[in-house]
Structure 1
Amino acid sequence: MRIRLIGEKGRQVFSQNLKITRLGKLGRIEEAIHVFSQLTLKNVVSYNSMISAYCKNGRISDARRLFDEMPQRNLVSWNSMIAGYLHNDKVLEASELFDKMPKRDLFSWALMITCYTRNGELEKARKLFDLLPDKRDTVCWNAMIAGYVKNMCFDDAKKLFGEMPVKNLVSWNSMLAGYTKNAEMHLGLQFFEEMEKRDVVSWNLMVDGFVEVGDLDSAWQFFKQIPNPNVFSWVTMLCGFARNGKIVEARRLFDQMPHRNAVSWNAMIAAYVQNHHYDEANRLFMDMPERDSVSWTTMISGYVRVGKIGEARGYLNRMPFKNIAAQTAMISGYVQNKRMDEASQLFSQIGIRDVVCWNTMIAGYAQCGRMDDALRLFRQMVYKDLVSWNTMIVGYAQVGQMDEALKIFEEMGERNIISWNSLITGFLQNGLYLDALKSFVLMQKEGKKPDQSTFACGLSACANLAALQVGKQFHHLIAKSGYVNDLFVSNALITMYAKSGRVFDAELLFKDINHADVVSWNSLIGGFALNGYGQEAVKLFEEMLINGVVPDLVTFVGVLSACCHAGLVDCGLELFKSMNEVYSVEPLVEHYACIVDLLCRAGRLEEAFNMVRGMKIRANAGIWGALLGASRVHQNLELGRHAAEKLLELEPHKTSNYVLLSHMHAEVGSWEEVESVRVSMKKSRAEKQPGCSWIELKNQIHVFLSDNQLQPRTTEVCNTLTALTAHMRNPGDLSEFKSLLKVFY
C-alpha cells in the first residue's frame, strides 16, 4: 500500500513537472509559478522545470534565486541555469557560473562556447574549446564552427571543419548554414556540391538561402530536386513566393502539398494577409480543419495592419481561447489608431500579461503624450525589460520632459545602445545640444560603442552649435569605427560641415557618396543656401533632377531659401510654381514664407501681401515678420501696422515685435502711436528672453546667458567687452586689444 501511494505521488509530481515545462514554453509563467508553489513534494526535476520556465520568459533573476535555493542540484540544474543566461544574453554571469561548476559534461562546454560566440567573443570561445578534456565528441566542434560562421569568419570555420576527427550531418549543415544565412550563396552552393552527406535540412537551407537573397528561380530549382521534401521544405518555398508577391504560385504550391499541418495552413493564410487578399485569407481560414492560436492571431494582426480594427475585434471576439499574442495584437491596433480607452479596457481584461503586452500599452500612452498613464503602468510592472525603460525615455523626450527622461535613464540597472541613443536623441529634439554631446562622452566612458544613430545625433548637435572642431573629432572617430560609408552618417557629416561654414568640405563629402539619396542632396542644397551660395544651390538642384532624384518638401525649402538670400526672384517664383504643377508637392507655410521673404527683399510688398491673402493655409509668424520688416525698410506704415497686428496675435509676449512697430512709428514722427505701442507691450506683459550665445574654444563649448550673473569670469568678460567697444570707436591702437584677448587663451 505504501509503495502504491509513493508511486501515485510520483506520478502526480511527474505530471505537474511536465505541466510547468509546458506552461513555460507557452509563456504562461504566472500559471507555472502557481503550479510550482502548490507542489507539496518538489524534486530536483521540479526545480529544473521552473528554472527553465523563468529563463524562457526573461525572468533570469528569479531563475537564479530559485537555483540558489535548491536543496540539491544535479548537472541538469547547472546546465539549465547556464542555458538561461545564454538565452538572455548574460555572458558574464554564465561564465562565472561555468567556473563554479563541480562537474561538467560536453553539453556544459558547448553551452559556454555558444554563449561566447553569440556575444562575438570568438577568442574566449576558442580558448575554451582548446581546453576541452575530450576532443572526440562532435557537439563542441559543431558549436565552435557555428560560432565562426555566424560571425562570418568563414576561413576559421572551414579550417576547424577540416580538422574535425569525425564529422556528422550537423557539422556539414552548420557550415552550410553559415553561408546561406549570411547571403553567401556562391560559397554555399560550392560547399553544398562538396558535401559528403546531405539530408532534407541541407536542401532546405539552400532553398531558404536563395529565398532570402530574392533568387526565386534558383530556390525553385533546388526545391524541385529535393529527394523527400518535408513540410518545412514546402512552407519555405511557399513563403518565398508570398514574400515576392507571387500569391498565385504560393497557392498552387499549397494545393499540391501531400500533407498539410497547421503550420502549412497558417503560412498560406499569412501569405494572403501579407498581400492584402483578406477575402481569400478568410475563406482559407474558414476551411481549416483545425485552427490554432497562430491562425487566429495571424488574421487579427493582418486586419490591424491595414487599420480594419472592427474586423480584427470581430475575430478576437470569436476566438474560442484567447491568447496573449492575439490580445496584444488587438491592443496594438487600438494604439495605432489612438483609441487608448478601448486599448486600456482590453488590457484590463487580460488576466496574465506578458512583458510585450505591458510594453505595447505603455508605448501607446507615450505616443499619445499621456505620460502620467504611461508612468502609472510602468511602476506597476513587476518585471521590466530594456524595451520598457527605453519606451519611457522616448516618451518623456517627445513631450519635452527631459528631466524625467534622465531620471528614468539613471534608474536603469542595465542600459543598451538604444537607451543611450534615446537619451541623446531626446536632448537633440529639445534643443539641449550640449547635453547631447555630454551624454555621448559618458556613453563611451561606460564602454558602449556608438552606432550610426549615435554618430548622426552627435554630428547634428555639433551642427546646431556650429562646433566645427568637435565635429571634426567626430569625423575622425567615425572613420576609425567603420561608419564613414554609412549613408545616414554621411548625410549628418554634410550637414555638420555646411552649418559650420565649411560648405565646400561638405561638397567633397557629398561627391564621395556612392548612392546619394534625397537627404544627401537636401543637406548640401540647404548648406549652400545657408552660406549664401544661391547660384550653387540652384545648380545643384538641377543636377539632382538630371540624376533622377525626386525632390521633396525639404528640397524646395532649401532651394527657395537659396533664391531668397541670393535675390533670384524670377527663379524662385518659377520653382515655387513648379512645386505643385510639375512635382505634385503641395506647398507648406515654410515655402510661402520663403517666397514672401523673397518678394519683400525685392521691394515687391504688394505682391507679397496679395500672396499671403491668397494662401490656402494660415500664415505663420515668419511670414508676417517678413512683411513687417520689409514694411519698415520701405516705410509702408499701413502694411506694417496690419502685419504687426497679425504678428502680435500669434506672438503676444514677444518683445521684438512691439519694438519693431514702435520704431516704425518713431521714424515717421507718430509719437502718440509710439506711446500707445509701449502701453500695449506693458499690458501684454511681454518679456524679453535672455540672450544666449556660445563659442567653441580649445575643443570646449562655452555658453553665455545675458541674465546669468553667476557665469564664471563674468566681470572679466564685461570688462573685455567694454574695452573692445571703446577700441571699435577708436581703432588706432591694437596692442591693448591683443592683450585683453590673451586672457581667454
Structure 2
Amino acid sequence: MKLKFRIRSIGEGGKHIFNQNQQIIHFGKLGKVEDAITVFSNMTRKNLVTYNSMISVLAKNARITDARHLFDKMSLRNLVSWNTMIAGYLHNNMAEEASRLFDLMPERDNFSWALMITCYTRKGKLQRARELLELVPDKMDTTCWNAVIAGYAKKGQFNDAMEVFEQMPVKDLVSYNSMLSGYTQNGKMGLALVLFDRMTKRNVVSWNLMVAGYVNSGDLSSAWQFFEKIPNPNAVSWVTMLCGFARHGKITEARRLFDRMPSKNVVSWNAMIAAYVQDLQMDEAVKLFMEMPYKDSVSWTTIMNGYVRIGELDEAREVYNQMPFKDIAAETTLMSGLIQNGRIDQASEMFSRISGRDTICWNSMIAGYSQSGRMDEALNLFRQMPMKNVVSWNTMISGYAQAGQMDRAKEIFQAMKERNIVSWNSLIAGFVQNMLFLDALKSLVLMGQEGKKADQSTFACALSACANLAALQVGNQLHEYILKSGYMNDLFVSNALIAMYAKCGGVLSAEEVFRDIECVDLISWNSLISGYALNGYANKAFKTFEQMVSAGVVPDEVTFIGMLSACSHAGLANQGLDLFKCMIEEFGIEPLAEHYSCLVDLLGRMGRLEEAFNMVMGMNLKTNAGLWGSLLGACRVHKNLELGRIAAERLLELEPHNASNYITLSNIHAEVGRWEEVERVRVLMREKRAGKQPGCSWIELQNQIQSFLSDDSAKLSPKYIQIILNTLSAHMRDKCNISDMKSTFDIL
C-alpha cells in the first residue's frame, strides 16, 4: 500500500511541475517575464525542463544576460540546455557568443549544427557557414545543407546557392523550396519559374512562394494565374493573394476573394481588416472586426492601429481598454499613437508602466524623444536599453542631426560596432541638413572604403551637398558612379541630379537628365524651373511652366517660388505680379513668406522700394529673414538709407549673428559717407560674432574641394592666393570667353 501511495504522490508532483513549467512558457509568450520568474522562484522542485523553459523565456524577451547566468548556475545540463542557450543568442543576434558556446559543447546533434549554421547565415557570414557545413558529421541530414542554401539565396548569391544545392547527396522538397524562396524573395521570377518547372514534386509551399514572388514584384496578373492553379490552396495561399490585392490598393478584389474563401481562420480575418485599415476605411474595418467569430491580439491591435493612423486616439484607447488580453504589441501601438500626436509625456508615462518591453517598444520611445528634440531624455533611455539593435543607434544619430548636434551624432556613429546603409545615410543626411557639405562628401568616401554600397538616399544627399558647394566636378563623378550603380532610373536620384546641375550652372546637363526621365513628376518640373530661374533663363522657365500645365501637372508652392524668382532675376516686375495673382486666384495657393520675398526682391531690383516695403508691412504672414534681406539689399543698391535702416533693424532681430547683414548695413552708411555709423555697425558685428564659428568658403581645385576659414592664416600665403586666382581665372575664361585675363591677375 505504501509503495502504491508513494508512486501516486510522485505522479502528482510531476504533474504539478509540468503545470508550473507550462505557466512559465505561457507567461513568456505574453512577454510577462517577471511573472514567469515569480513562478520559477516559488517552485520547490525544478527539473531540467524547468530550467530550459526559463532560459528560453529570458532569452526571447531580451534578457539574454539573465539567461546565461541561469545556464551557468545549472549543475546538470543536457543537450537541450545547450541548444536552448545557443538559440537564445541566435534570437538576440549575438553570433560571437553563440559560436563560443558552440565550441564548448560536450556533444552536438544535427539541431546544434543547424542552429550554428543558421546563426552565421543570418549574420551574413556565409563563408563561415559554408566552412561549418564541411564539418557536419551527418552528410545525409538535409537540414544543414538547406540552411546554407537559404542563406546564400536570401543574400542573392544564387551561383553559390546552386553550387551547394547541386553538391547535396540527398535533396528533399525543402531544398528545392529554399532555392525557390531565394529567387522569389529577390524578385528573380524568371529563374524561379525555371526551377519551379524543373521540380518533379511540389507542395503548397512551392505554389505559395511563386504567388508571393509575383505579388512582391507587382505582377498581380501572374500571381492570380498561379493562385488559380494551386491544387489545394491553404490559408496561406488565400491570405497571400488577398494581401497582394490590398497592398496594391485593390480593396474590392481583396474583399471579393475574402468572401470566396471556403473557410476563414483568424489570420484571414486579420488580413482583410488590415487591408481596410491600410486604405483608411475604418468603418468597414470595424464592421468586419465586430463580425469576427474569434479575435486574437493581432485583431485588436490592428483596429487600434487604424484609429491611431487617423488620429482618433480616444477610440484607440477605448479599444485597448476593452482588450481581454493586453500584449506588448498593443501597448506599443497606443504609445506610438501618443508620440505621433505630440503627447510625449503621456507616452513616457505609459512606457514606464510596460513590464515586458521589447526592442520595438524601446526604439519607439527613443524615437519619440528624438523627434521632439528632447535628446537628453532620448540618450538617457538609450543608455538604459538592455539590448540595442542597429535601429536604436540610427535613431540616435538622426535625432542629434535633427537637433543640430552633429558632434554628438558622429560620436554615436563612431561607437557603433556594426553599421548598415541607414547608419551612413543618417550621418550623411545630417551633415547636409546642418550645411556641413564637405563632411557629407567625406563620409561618402569613407562609406565606400568600408565596403558599403550607396543607395538612392545616399546619392540624393551627396548630390545636394555638391549643389550647395557648387562642386560641379565632384557632381559629374557622382553622376558616373550612379550610372554604374544602376540608379539612373530612380526618380529620386534623377531629380537630385537636375537640382545639382542647375545649381552648379550646368543647365544643359540638367535638361538632358530631365529628358531621360521616363515619367517625370512635379519635383522634376520644379527642379528644372528653379534651375532656369537661378541661371537667368526666364524665357525657358516660362516655356517649361506652360509645358508642365499642358501636361496636366498642377503646380504647387515651390513651382511659383521658382517662377517668381525667374521674374526677379530677369527684372520682369509686371509678369511677376501677374503670376502672384494667378497663383492665388487660379490655383488657390496661399502665398508663403518665400513668395513675398521673391516679390520684394523683384520690386527692389526695379527701384520700387516703397511698394516693396508696403507689401511687407501689409502681409498677414510672419516675416522672415529672407524678406528683410531682400529689401535691405535693394536699399543698398538704390541708396535708400531710411528704409535700409528699418530693414536692417528687423533683420538683425531675426539673425543677430549673421555677419553679411552687418556688412550690408555698413556699406549703405559708407556709400553716403556716414563713417561713424560704419564703425559703430562693425563694432556691433564683432560683439555679436564673438565666440561664433569663423566664416567658411570653398572652391573646387584639381577634383578636390578646398575650404578656407576667415581666420585661417595658413591659407593666406601667396602660394594659396595664386592657386585661387589661377582657378578663378580658368572659371571666368570658361564662363565669359575672356581671351586674355593674365594682366588683370598679374596686377593683383
Shorter-chain TM-score bucket reads 0.7 to 0.9
Partner of 1:564: 568
* Aligned equivalents of 1:397, 1:437: Cα separation in 2: 16
Deviation at 1:314, TM superposition (A): 1.1
Partner of 2:557: 553
Deviation at 1:79, TM superposition (A): 3.7
Runs of 5+ unmatched residues, structure 1: none
Offset from partner CA, 1:678-717 (integer Å, 9 cap, x none): 77997899635754323444565444333x3xx3626736
- Is the aligned partner of 1:425 residue 2:429? yes
2:313 to 309, 316, 329: 309
* Aligned equivalents of 2:353, 2:742: Cα separation in 1: 79
* Aligned equivalents of 1:614, 1:343: Cα separation in 2: 42
Q: Which segment drifts farther, 164-173 or 418-427?
A: 164-173
Partner of 1:397: 401
RMSD: 4.3
Partner of 2:717: 716
Matching of residues 261-280 of structure 1 within 5 Å: 261-280=265-284
Offset from partner CA, 1:588-611 (integer Å, 9 cap, x none): 221222232123223344543454
Offset from partner CA, 1:212-234 (integer Å, 9 cap, x none): 44555555555455444433334
* Aligned equivalents of 1:165, 1:653: Cα separation in 2: 74
Partner of 1:590: 594
1:452 to 429, 453, 456: 456
* Aligned equivalents of 1:383, 1:166: Cα separation in 2: 40
Q: CA 1:125 to 1:479, structure 2 compared with 1: closer, same or farther past 3 Å?
A: farther
* Aligned equivalents of 1:59, 1:544: Cα separation in 2: 58
- Is the aligned partner of 1:385 residue 2:395? no
Matching of residues 192-591 of structure 1 within 5 Å: 192-216=196-220, 219-220=223-224, 222-247=226-251, 250-251=254-255, 253-444=257-448, 448-471=452-475, 474-475=478-479, 478=482, 483=487, 485-545=489-549, 549-591=553-595
* Aligned equivalents of 2:418, 2:385: Cα separation in 1: 17
Three-state SS of the structure 2 residue aligned to 1:694 is strand
Q: Which has the higher contact order (CA 8 A, sep 6+)?
A: 2
Q: CA 1:81 to 1:536, structure 2 compared with 1: closer, same or farther past 3 Å?
A: farther
Deviation at 1:335, TM superposition (A): 0.9
Q: CA 1:714 to 1:153, structure 2 compared with 1: closer, same or farther past 3 Å?
A: closer
Partner of 2:737: none
Report if aligned partners of 1:535, 1:566 keep a CA contact under 8 Å in 2: no
Offset from partner CA, 1:168-226 (integer Å, 9 cap, x none): 33334334434444445555455545543333333433444444445555555554554
Partner of 2:174: 170
* Aligned equivalents of 2:194, 2:605: Cα separation in 1: 69
Q: CA 1:715 to 1:330, structure 2 compared with 1: closer, same or farther past 3 Å?
A: closer
Matching of residues 106-121 of structure 1 within 5 Å: 106-121=110-125
* Aligned equivalents of 1:54, 1:118: Cα separation in 2: 21
Deviation at 1:330, TM superposition (A): 0.9
Deviation at 1:53, TM superposition (A): 3.2
* Aligned equivalents of 1:41, 1:295: Cα separation in 2: 39
Report if aligned partners of 2:30, 2:327 keep a CA contact under 8 Å in 1: no
Report if aligned partners of 2:669, 2:678 keep a CA contact under 8 Å in 1: no
Report if aligned partners of 2:242, 2:254 keep a CA contact under 8 Å in 1: yes
Deviation at 1:428, TM superposition (A): 2.3
Report if aligned partners of 2:270, 2:299 keep a CA contact under 8 Å in 1: yes
TM-score of the two chains, using structure 1 as the length reference: 0.82
Offset from partner CA, 1:533-571 (integer Å, 9 cap, x none): 444444454555566555443333334323322334455
Offset from partner CA, 1:27-64 (integer Å, 9 cap, x none): 33444444445556555544443443344334555555
* Aligned equivalents of 2:629, 2:131: Cα separation in 1: 70
Deviation at 1:411, TM superposition (A): 4.5
Report if aligned partners of 1:652, 1:686 keep a CA contact under 8 Å in 2: no
Partner of 1:634: 638
TM-score of the two chains, using structure 2 as the length reference: 0.82
* Aligned equivalents of 1:22, 1:434: Cα separation in 2: 55
Report if aligned partners of 1:653, 1:686 keep a CA contact under 8 Å in 2: no
Report if aligned partners of 2:502, 2:531 keep a CA contact under 8 Å in 1: yes
Report if aligned partners of 2:670, 2:678 keep a CA contact under 8 Å in 1: no
Report if aligned partners of 2:708, 2:715 keep a CA contact under 8 Å in 1: no
Report if aligned partners of 1:172, 1:197 keep a CA contact under 8 Å in 2: no
Q: CA 1:445 to 1:93, structure 2 compared with 1: closer, same or farther past 3 Å?
A: farther
* Aligned equivalents of 1:622, 1:493: Cα separation in 2: 26
What letter corresponds to residue 392 of structure 1 in structure 2?
Answer: M
- Is the aligned partner of 1:140 residue 2:144? yes
Three-state SS of the structure 1 residue aligned to 2:698 is strand
What letter corresponds to residue 519 of structure 1 in structure 2?
Answer: I
* Aligned equivalents of 2:230, 2:688: Cα separation in 1: 79
